[in-house]
Amino acid sequence: MTIGVVTFPGSLDDGDAGRAVRIADGDAVSLWHGDADLRGVDAVVLPGGFSYGDYLRCGAIARFAPIMEPLIDAAHGGMPVLGICNGFQVLCEAHLLPGALVRNDHRKFVCRDQRLRIENASTAWTSAYEKDQEIVIPLKNGEGGYVADEATLDRLETEGRVVARYLEINPNGSYRDIAGVTNERGNVVGLMPHPEHAVEELTGPGTDGLGFFTSVLESLVAA
């Protein structure tokens, strides 16, 4: 199975995301933001970084990159898409996910190993986990606060679309401690922490992030 990893100007973690795909036994395919072609991939990862320098609003310019048009169509058609950190911001700007990401409430960049609870283990990207499983993966952001109006937050809670929630500490002021959400279908997931940095024992806090990548490969085989 092939998983495309999009590189925008300013992407930092595209190489790490591709490596995580390969460790999970998938085939990583590099996709360029300026090409309106998904190259026949089975799923897509929008990695972390600072797309286009984040000079306007995080993800606001990347949302209009040529690659996004076929990606949005493919996501609506059921293709699995994972947005990590800046990629989560891009998905919100593209209206594939509700809400928005804003500057951390303490106005400082945060970098830490973050404990999370998996709230939804039935998405294309989280099926390798158990519901309520606690994991630790790195978090690094300056604009990672997830916000939405109360009606949207209530709908996400009621429909089980909160994918992961911060434990012990809320590192950025995200409403209701939300660290990640999914769309109604469960194929599009946005996550602020970085699972691609927790796929090997040698680097990072462990291998708790690997499940995001094995999950999508299993979901593609099962489809």
Let me know if 92 is a catalytic residue: no
CB 101 within 8 A of CB 63: no
Let me know if 150 is a catalytic residue: no
Residue whose token pair is 């979901």: 219
Determine which one of 92, 93, 119, 194 is catalytic: 194
The helix, strand and coil proportions of the chain, stated in percent and rounded to the nearest 5, come to 30, 25, 45
Q: Residue 137 forms beta bridges with which residues?
A: 114
How many Cβ atoms sit within 10 Å of the Cβ of residue 103? Answer: 16
Cβ-Cβ contacts under 8 Å for 44 (sequence gap 6 or more): 3, 4, 5, 6, 31, 38, 71, 74, 79, 80, 81, 82
Let me know if 194 is a catalytic residue: yes
Determine which one of 33, 58, 85, 197 is catalytic: 85
Catalytic positions, written as ranges: 85, 194, 196
